[in-house]
Chains A and B, each alone.
Chain A
Amino acid sequence: MPMTLTTLNRPSLWTTRSLGEFGDLQDEINRLLDEPLAELRGEFFTGWAPPMDLIEDADNLVATVEIPGLKKEDIQVRVEDGVLSISGERKPDERSKKAEAHRTERFYGKFHRAICLPKPVKVDAVKAAYRDGVLTVTMPKTEEAKPKQIEVRMG
């Protein structure tokens, strides 16, 4: 669906809510009921949850997180007690600060994702790389966690 970017048809950021003389009472009641709940939800679920994958191959557990537009310094990766935790912050573009916003769908701010690792990994050998907005954390499995082929001998 094409989006129009004309001076007459600009997407507005905020919809104005007004209760006119004969305003919709039901809408207003719903709003009054919903708003305190929305505030409460906000306390528990603040921030951004970027999509995360966990892949296993023969030697490694590999986690990928889609976090476009961050700086390498703003990403923290930790492996502790069998839990991989990734956090960071996306800061707004300097160029956008003095500009008028017509559409803001992208998320800015802090995020934190953590996942339990199903296999033990060599914590000292964990590597993280950030490319094309995707963070890839490669965690080599310990020798005990790797699959072993057991030879069958004639009895």
Chain B
Amino acid sequence: MNTQVKTDRSHGTGLEEQKYVAPKVDIFETGDEYLLQADMPGVGKDGIQISLDSNELTILGHRATGRDKTATSCNYLHRESAPVNFRRVFVLDPTIDTNRITAEMDQGVLTVHLPKAEKVKPRLIPVTD
């Protein structure tokens, strides 16, 4: 699921390759909406970019570089984390009301609310005489 994206920098030397890792996600469905939760540790509210292109939802998460890990005075004794940004693309069901999508970020977990369109919500049908 990890991706490589080539972006065209108009003033640069053409295509620039960037590596991303796919965040782990949970997807739940309630009566009213789909709830998508993605683990993106090290990404703050400002580092999140969610874009929607027709029915393709792209989530980008840029890690905050609070600590300058390239400084010569600091030295890795042990390393398991990967300093790459997060990216994942989802194709949305047509029943999702794309105008009402909302998202929130809490301690490295992104929650995206994908509300179902009114017409597909489960409802009771009244019986008339």
Contact = CB atoms under 8 A, between A and B. Distances in A.
B125 interface: no
A106 B41 contact: no
A154 interface: no
A103 B81 contact: no
B58 to A, nearest CB: 9
Contacts of B85: none
B26 A96 contact: yes
Contacts, number: 135
Contact of B77 (A5, A55, A67): A55
B74 A57 contact: yes
B81 A118 contact: no
A48 to B, nearest CB: 11
Interface of A: 1-7, 51-58, 61-62, 64, 66-70, 93, 95-96, 98-107, 115, 118, 130-134
A20 B80 CA distance: 44
Contact of A53 (B28, B43, B71, B76): B76
Contacts of B74: 55-57, 62
* Centre residue among B25, B43, B80 by max chain A CB count within 10 A: B80
A72 to B, nearest CB: 9
A1 B81 contact: no
A53 B107 contact: no
A57 B75 contact: yes
Given A53-B80, A133-B40, 14 more contacts: A2-B89, A5-B92, A5-B93, A52-B80, A54-B78, A54-B79, A55-B69, A66-B41, A67-B41, A99-B35, A101-B27, A102-B34, A130-B107, A132-B64
